[in-house]
Every structure is written in C-alpha cells, then in structure tokens.
Amino acid sequence: MIRHILSLSKRNQSFGSTKNILDFSEFLERNVLSSAPKQISLATIRNTKEREHYSKCFDRTGKCQGCEKNKNWKKDESRLTIGEAIREAQRCLKCTDAPCQKGCSTSIDIKSFIYNIEKKNWYGAAKVILTDNPLGLSCGQLCPISELCARNCNVASSEKGAIKINKLQEFAVSMFKEMGVKQIRDPKLPKNDHIVFDSSIALIGAGAASLSCATFLGRLGYKNVTIFEKQQHAGGLVVSEIPMNRSPVDDINWEIEQVKQLGIKFVFGKELGKDFTIESLRKEGYECVFLGCGLNEPKKGLGHIYQQSHILNSKSFLPKVNKAVKQDKDVEATPKLSGHVIVLGIGDTALDCARSAYRCGAQRVSVIFRRGWQDIRANDEILIPSKNEGINFIPYEQPLKLIEVDGQYKQIELEQNLPVNNDAFNLKYQLTGDKVTMSFDYLITAFVFKLKEWLCLDKRFTPGQRLRLALCRWRCCWSGQFGGCSQ
C-alpha cells in the first residue's frame, strides 16, 4: 500500500503539478518509518537452569522424579467425569462384529455398555458389565487393555487412539456403586428350593477367582456357599499386593460386600493344608470344592539371601505396604526404604514393587531384567507410569550372585545376556561372559510364583499335574477351569 502511494506521488510530480496533494513522504517519515527497528534484533538466550526450573514447575506430562512420590498413594488417574465419559463413548463405532469383545477375557458386551454410557444409562451399563464380570470395578482399574480389548479396537489408529474401555468400565460401575443398589437372588428362581440348591460348596481362597465363582453360584440359587481364607480379610491380591495408587481399597470392599449380599459365608484364618484338607471338607459334608488359592509361593532365587532385613521379595514387601496403606490406613507404618533400591524382574508385580519403593522413601530405583524390551511381561498400563516416575531400567542383565561388604550383601554381580538368533518370535538368549557389579541399599526380588509344597502328592509328576490328579479323584475344580477368573 505504501509503495502504491509513493508511486502515485512520483507520477504526480512528473506531470508538473503545482501542488502535490499525494505527497505523503513527511507523514511516512514521522509516523511509520520512525517506529521501524533500526537494527536486527539479537537471538534470545535463556539460561538452561531457568528453563528446566520453569518446565518442572509447569509440567503437564505427568513425569516426575520418583522420590517426589514419597508417601503419596493418591490414585494414578482420576475417574472420568460425566462429560469425559460421554465424549469417549461417542467415539466408539459400536462395531457389529465387536472385535473388542472377542479380545475380552470375560466376554463383556463392550459395545452395549458403551452405548448405555452414551445415553446416560449408568445402571444399564453397569448391569451389562457385572452380568459377565462380578468384579467389574477392580478390573476396570487393573485390566491390561493394551493386550486385550483395546488391542483390537477399530479406532486404535485414530488421532485419539483406541477407546478407553477400562476407564469407561470403571466409570459405569462407580456410578452404579454410588446408587447403593444391593445384589439379590433372581426372584424368578423356584420358590420351593430344589435339593440341588442346598448342596454345600467350599471355595478355597477369597481372591478374585473365588469371589467371582461365589457370585455366579449365588445368582444361580445355591444357598450354602462358604469361602475359606487364610488371611483375616477377603480380596486376595487386590487387597494384599496391588498398591493403593492403582486400586483403592474402598472399591474392592464394595465388591466383597456385593458378594455377601447373596448370602455367601466367609471363614477367615483357615489355611488349606494346615487347618483343614480337602478330605476333611468332604467329611464335613461339602459336596464340591473350588480351589482359587492361586500361586502364592515365591520363587526366591539367588540362594539363602533373605535372612538380611534389606533383602526382600515381593511376597514379603507388598503385603506389608498394603497392610499399612489399605487395611490400617496408616501411611507412616509402611516399610522404610532409603538410598538405591534394586528390583529384579520385569512383570507387573516387579513394577508395583519399584513404584511402591519410591513411595516408601527410596531416592533411586533400578529395575534389572535379563531380556529385552520386546520380551517383558509388564503391560503398558503400569510400564508407562513407571517410566514417567523416573525408574531406571537395565535390560539384558542376568543376576548371578550377591557380594558381601562388611558382613552385609551390598552389591550384586550381573552378567550380560544377549540374543543369539534373529527369530523375532522365539529369541534365544546366551550369557556373554561380560560381568559387572552394582551397589544397592535394598534389594527386592519379584520372580514368578509357584504352588505350595504340600501339593506335592506324588513325586512322579509336576506340581501342576499332581494338583489335577488330586482334584480328579473327587468332585473338585480349580480357578484355571472357571471362566472369567484369574489363575
């Protein structure tokens, strides 16, 4: 525009006008050019420490130094609001073939309960969920959807990713919980109780498998169902080992109360193989036994190292943590850790130990595992928060032995363990001979678990085979045979 005005001014001068009415040179000089920069501005330099301090103060990514989580057992992610739940439900395509349902361990009609959420029918959504999964609230908080339903979602490649099925499930059952609706036996069941409904049934263990089994038996009309539990509380691993920041205790307590409303009886402080046996239950009149006690014996490994107080395993560490936080609700009573904590293992339990270590006072936590990232057992639902909390991951290292320093185990010797073939689906690992040592203040092992030794009834078979033989001799079933229950 300025160039156009100047050109008009020059053209007017060329015609020899006595008065140049289009001469804006003075105006431009006074009001426009005087305010223009006279030199090129320099690049802005921001001090690195100032930038890092600002980024830390206004971080929106959820990342942090794990030691900042000391005594912080607040739930990792808050429940969806009503608006968030409806918007997420509207993203669902309600697919005819519903690939998410085929990937669900309990075959919940996922598209139906999401449709009910979209229409604000919280009761209908919860009914769909609880019909197939009596522990729908705990599963909504803990289910590894990245390996199950969400893995098959048809909108997984969209900008917002797969539908947050677990968050929607947790939302629906939480809304139902707030309604205070009690669970009752189906009024359509025969009024004159059939003799079958009077059968005495014993369930061993009060974890997820037995609670689910008891619920279905109660809904069918069975009146004499008793759950035997060696602890003084029900809930199994959800209460005793899964930390408060992943699953609040009030939610599992509500699910246990729902089971009791069907008339299910609980007997606490009774352990199978110690206080009673399957044969003694038979003599007491129980016609069927369900074994849902799980694999509660840890494989400790590395020899006899657990006599020292700073050497723990997951079965001795997590129950102490959860007893203080979940049962006694005394955060100060959790085990006191400090310095550098090493966790051996890479499953969900190992990462629960690692994250809980930060909340018990550790300044640094390292997770050591003997394979690569493609072979880890942990799911994204716990792996990603673990990374965000600053846990140090050390792959391809095989623990060999512990080294004593001043009479205490303070160092661990590791040997590099690398793949020796290129088969992506069946990698073979081999020790290379390259060894290193690493110092620690506390060590927690989180290896796989096994059956208790008392199940070794016949030395010719493996523990699993011996259990199956024992159950086949009489009318028994175990959690692995019951659909929708955890093994």
Write the DSSP assignment of 164-214 as a string of letters. -HHHHHHHHHHHHHHHTPPP---TTS-SS--GGGG-EEEEE--SHHHHHHH
CA-to-CA separations, 250 to 94, 138, 231, 329, 477, in angstroms, rounded = 32, 10, 18, 11, 30
Radius of gyration of the CA atoms of the chain, in A: 32
Do the bridges between strand 340-344 and strand 364-368 make them parallel or antiparallel, or are there none, so unpaired?
parallel
Blockwise average pLDDT, block size 10, the chain, 487 residues: 52 52 68 68 75 78 72 89 95 91 89 95 95 93 89 90 94 95 84 74 91 92 92 91 92 94 94 86 88 76 79 91 91 92 93 94 93 86 90 93 90 91 78 93 85 50 46 45 35
Helix (H, G, I), strand (E, B) or coil at 207: coil
Torsion on CA atoms 395, 398, 399, 401, rounded to nearest 10: -150
Residue 272 has what DSSP assignment? B
**Nearest CA-CA partner of 224 in 207, 247, 199:** 199
pLDDT at residue 176, as a whole number: 95
Residue 182 has what DSSP assignment? P
CA-to-CA separations, 8 to 1, 239, 266, 472, in angstroms, rounded = 11, 85, 98, 105
Listed in sequence order, the residues at least 6 apart from 25 whose beta carbon sits closer than 8 Å to its beta carbon are 6, 9
User: In angstroms, rounded to a whole number, what is the distance separating the alpha carbons of residues 18 and 425?
Assistant: 92
Q: Which amino acid is at 321?
A: V
pLDDT at residue 486, as a whole number: 35
Report yes or no: 352 and 318 within 8 Å, Cβ to Cβ: yes
User: In angstroms, rounded to a whole number, what is the distance separating the alpha carbons of residues 466 and 471?
Assistant: 9
* 41-57 core/surface letters (b: 16 or more CB in 10 A; e: else): eeeeeeeeeeeeeeeee
Listed in sequence order, the residues at least 6 apart from 385 whose beta carbon sits closer than 8 Å to its beta carbon are 62, 76, 355
Do the bridges between strand 392-394 and strand 429-439 make them parallel or antiparallel, or are there none, so unpaired?
unpaired
Burial class (CB in 10 A: 0-12, 13-18, 19+), 429: middle
Report the DSSP beta bridge partners of residue 412: 402, 438
Chain-centre distance of CA 231, in angstroms?
23
Report yes or no: 171 and 200 within 8 Å, Cβ to Cβ: no
Q: Could you tell me the strand order of the sheet in which 429-439 lies? A: 397-405, 408-419, 429-439
CA-to-CA separations, 286 to 212, 347, 373, 442, 479, in angstroms, rounded = 19, 37, 48, 46, 18
User: In angstroms, rounded to a whole number, what is the distance separating the alpha carbons of residues 324 and 244?
Assistant: 10
Helix (H) or strand (E) holding 393: strand 392-394
pLDDT at residue 42, as a whole number: 66
User: In angstroms, rounded to a whole number, what is the distance separating the alpha carbons of residues 426 and 444?
Assistant: 29
Domains and CATH numbers, the chain: 82-179 (1.10.1060.10), 195-295+466-481 (3.50.50.60), 298-422+429-449 (3.50.50.60)
